[in-house]
């Protein structure tokens, strides 16, 4: 059974002297590129609107952050915040799919960058529906781009020729009644390519609103086909800073990386701080192989 081991302390906390991130930092997207972990994290401060901060780390544990947000709301769709960024390095650019929150609606929105400071805005991806927890696959599959998204309570997959117009929407994973993921599920980290399939760290919520993390494996050629899905969660809120905070009993991931034979899964604890939990690559491979 695959289990993550949590790092004993949060790796990023709110900073009282930065008004934009004085209250909560959580739900971080990450990418490992040229020997550095680049992180975009959701930050909330005095005005309770979400912005994205940027932090960078040489080892996955010690992060150095900028003193101002790198992405703030720009359109009416996100007047109350830009939330839950998921970063995918795709064809030489960093694409970030995030939740645009208007106060009454949530939309999937996308920006891209080469440097995490200056952005190209691609706009809303699924214009006519409330949707979140979207994540791009890091390469085309049979010639088309692929993205996971969430029509409650399920994880869906869609394809696109141009990253903007999405078609062929299909449910790929549903909640499992009577379990830790009985109410709703959503993609976590963007899918990670392995020899055995697309590795997916995702979240599940039960009817007591406890958020936990799970793991699944999707077919490389046809990612609508779920090869394997572990029954037990891989991380549950147990540490004090996962059990108490803005929203109690939450571990919620938006990104994971592999560094030197270890997977690092970053997650928000109680929508208040950022933690990381790790697992050796061999154990993940054992899960992928089904033994
Ligand atoms: C989800 C999202 C996440 C959040 C989680 C727990 O619906 O809004 O950003 O971490 O709820 O509150």
Domain regions of the chain by residue span: 5-289
Using DSSP's 3-state secondary structure scheme, residue 52 falls into: strand
Q: What is the pTM of this model?
A: 0.97
Q: Retrieve residue 265's tokens.
A: 């899964």
Is the distance from CB of 218 to CB of 198 less than 8 angstroms? Answer: yes
Q: To 5 degrees, how large is the angle CA 254–CA 259–CA 265? A: 25
Local confidence band at 76 (pLDDT 50, 70, 90 cut-offs): very high
- Residue 247 CA: nearest ligand 1 atom is 12
Residue with CA at minimum distance from ligand 1 atom 2: 84
**Preceding omega of 153 cis (within 30 degrees of 0):** yes
The answer to whether the CB of 247 is under 6 A from ligand 1 is yes
Q: How far apart are CA 279 and CA 2, in angstroms?
A: 8
- Residue 268 CA: nearest ligand 1 atom is 10
Local confidence band at 4 (pLDDT 50, 70, 90 cut-offs): very high
Residue with CA at minimum distance from ligand 1 atom 12: 247
Q: To 5 degrees, how large is the angle CA 90–CA 85–CA 13? A: 130
Residue with CA at minimum distance from ligand 1 atom 4: 271
Taking phi over 0 as left and psi of -120 to 50 as alpha, with beta for the rest, 134 belongs to beta
What is the model's pLDDT at position 231?
97
The answer to whether the CB of 252 is under 6 A from ligand 1 is yes
Mean pLDDT of 16-37: 98
Is the distance from CB of 27 to CB of 10 less than 8 angstroms? Answer: no
The answer to whether the CB of 83 is under 6 A from ligand 1 is yes
Q: What share of the chain is helix, strand, coil (3-state, %, to 5)?
A: 5, 50, 40
Task: Read off the pLDDT of residues 78-123 as tens digits, 9 standing for 90 and up.
Answer: 999 999 999 999 999 999 999 999 999 999 999 999 999 999 999 9
For ligand 1, mutation pick of 250, 254, 255 (most atoms within 8 Å of CB): 250
Percent of the chain with pLDDT over 90: 99
CATH of domain 5-289: 2.115.10.20
Is the distance from CB of 230 to CB of 4 less than 8 angstroms? Answer: no
Q: How far apart are CA 157 and CA 142, in angstroms?
A: 14
The answer to whether the CB of 27 is under 6 A from ligand 1 is yes
What is the model's pLDDT at position 291?
78
């Amino acid at each position: 059974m695959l289990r993550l081991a949590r790092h004993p302390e949060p790796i990023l906390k709110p900073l009282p002297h930065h008004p934009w991130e004085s209250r909560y930092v959580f739900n971080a997207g990450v990418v490992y590129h040229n020997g550095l972990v680049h992180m975009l994290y959701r930050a909330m401060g005095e005005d309770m609107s979400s912005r994205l901060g940027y932090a960078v780390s040489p080892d996955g544990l010690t992060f150095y952050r900028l003193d101002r947000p790198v992405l703030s709301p720009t359109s009416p769709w996100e007047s109350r915040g830009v939330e839950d960024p998921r970063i995918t390095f795709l064809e030489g650019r960093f694409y970030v799919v995030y939740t645009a929150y208007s106060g009454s609606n949530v939309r999937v929105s996308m920006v891209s960058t080469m440097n995490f400071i200056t952005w190209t805005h691609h706009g809303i991806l699924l214009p006519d529906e409330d949707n979140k927890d979207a994540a791009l696959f890091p390469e085309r599959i049979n010639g088309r781009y692929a993205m996971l998204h969430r029509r409650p309570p399920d994880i869906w997959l869609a394809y696109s020729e141009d990253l903007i117009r999405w078609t062929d929407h299909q449910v790929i994973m549903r909640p499992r009644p009577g379990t830790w993921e009985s109410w709703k599920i959503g993609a976590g980290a963007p899918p990670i390519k392995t020899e055995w399939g697309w590795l997916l760290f995702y979240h599940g919520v039960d009817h007591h609103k406890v958020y936990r993390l799970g793991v699944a494996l999707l077919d490389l050629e046809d990612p609508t086909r779920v090869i394997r899905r572990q029954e037990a969660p891989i991380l549950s809120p147990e540490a004090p800073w996962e059990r108490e905070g803005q929203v109690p009993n939450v571990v919620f991931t938006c990104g994971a990386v592999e560094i030197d034979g270890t997977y690092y899964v970053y997650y928000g604890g109680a929508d208040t701080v950022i933690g990381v939990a790790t697992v050796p690559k061999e154990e993940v491979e054992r899960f992928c192989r089904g033994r």
